[in-house]
A and B are shown apart, each in its own frame.
Chain A
Amino acid sequence: MSEHTTSVANGRRFTGFVSIREQQHQGMITLRGDLHSDIVSKAIFEITGCAVPAQRCVERADTCAVAWMSPDELLIFCPYSSVANKEARLSRAVAEEFATVVNVSDARAVFDISGPAWRDALAKLCPVDFVALTEGEIRRTRAAQVAAAIWVSGPEDVRLVCFRSVSGYVFDLLCTAAAPGSEPALYG
């Protein structure tokens, strides 16, 4: 197996008024195709244990999660060790469909952001009404100048997914936004 392509953020951590940590070696697969197709939903269920999520939602099961990214796109989270196997099985399962499956694990970066004030930190970077974003939802938007997807994975936890090529930029952004004492306190 080839070596992991490391991210500029390189698993760094920062503790401000929220804590930030790059989640290294997260398996991620992008599936594009007809999400209403029975073949696609059956394949997703058999390989991840998850149903096809509703608009802007994330389904979870055991070690996998499936996020709704657009009307024809899903992002599948799974352990890095199983990503090649899952990609191959998914590709085979949807081979006859108008669909594509790609392992994007080394093309994306994932940041775990934890703490009750995560909305205050992200509100500095994203043009989003975070009151309207609840647990189990995912919101694609921008973080300052780059695209980002924000998944509310727990009551005080979010995961931010961005392109790997801008992971250093996003880590620096998040650290600045979370600087101790800089809480805008927009959200009670």
Chain B
Amino acid sequence: MLLLTCPCCGITAEETEFSPGGEAHLKRYGPGSTDDEYEAYMFQRKNPRGVHFERWRHSYGCGKWFLAARDTVTLEVFGTYPAQTTEPPADIVARIKLKRPEWEGYR
């Protein structure tokens, strides 16, 4: 079971109270970008076996979006943090490195 803590309302609940929103920290490439950039932005997603950063919405709860760092294999959650964050926060990165020394880092 995947347990997430919503940083917007402080509730810890199991995943059926939330909706997944795909990969976090995407940079938008819109008008003026190259075809390759646009294609990557639209279609190419990471699908790691291990540490991953995702968007989630507390859809049955407070309704807010937030971001989560978790392991896609063990379902261990390293932390959740506000949606208004452009890259993984330093404290969460440090926690992941402690628990997954082999992790190659973000990007």
Return chain B residues, CB-CB under 8 Å to A140: 9, 60-62
Name the A residues within 8 Å of B60 (CB-CB).
140-142, 147
Q: Which of B25-70 contact A (CB under 8 A)?
A: 60-64
Secondary structure call for the B interface: loop
Say whether B10 contacts A71, CB under 8 Å: no
Q: Contacts A141-B60, A147-B60 hold; do A71 and B8 have CB atoms under 8 A apart? A: yes
Cα A140 to Cα B63 in complex, Å, equals 9
Q: Please indicate the chain B residues that have their CB under 8 angstroms from the CB of A51 in the complex.
A: none
CB of B32, distance to nearest CB on chain A (Å) = 31
CB-CB under 8 A from B61, the residues of chain A are 70, 140-141
Known contacts A127-B16, A127-B17, A142-B16; A70/B64 CB under 8 A:
yes
Interface centre among A55, A127, A139 (most CB of B within 10 A): A127
B75: CB under 8 A from chain A? no
Q: Which residues in A have their C-beta under 8 angstroms from that of B62? A: 69-71, 73, 140
Judged by DSSP, the binding face of A is: strand
Contacting residues of chain A (133-161) with chain B, CB-CB under 8 angstroms: 139-142, 147
Specify which chain A residues have a CB less than 8 angstroms from the CB of B9 in the assembled complex.
55-56, 70-71, 140
CB distance from B59 to the nearest CB of A (A): 8
- B94 proximal to A (CB < 8 A): no
User: Is A8 interfacial (CB-CB < 8 Å)?
Assistant: no
Number of interface residues of A (CB under 8 A): 13
Contact present for A70 and B8 (CB under 8 Å): yes
Most buried by A among B9, B10, B60: B60
Known pairs A70-B63, A140-B61; A128 contacts B8 (CB<8 A): no
Residue B14 lies at the interface, judged by CB distance under 8 Å to chain A: yes
Given the complex, which residues of B lie within 8 Å of A56, measured CB to CB? 9-11
Q: How far is the CB of B85 from chain A (nearest CB, A)?
A: 16
Tell me how far the C-beta of A109 lies from the nearest C-beta in chain B, rounded to whole angstroms: 17
Bound-state CA distance A69–B60 (Å) is 11
Cα–Cα distance between A55 and B8 once the two chains are bound (Å): 9
Q: Which of B8, B17, B63, B64 contacts A141 (CB 8 A)?
A: B17
**In chain A, what residue has the closest Cβ to B1?**
A127
13 contacts between A and B (CB under 8 A): A55-B10, A56-B9, A56-B11, A70-B64, A71-B62, A139-B11, A140-B9, A140-B60, A140-B61, A140-B62, A141-B17, A142-B16, A147-B60
Give 4 new A-B contacts, CB below 8 A, not counting A55-B10, A127-B17, A140-B62.
Answer: A71-B64, A127-B14, A127-B16, A141-B61
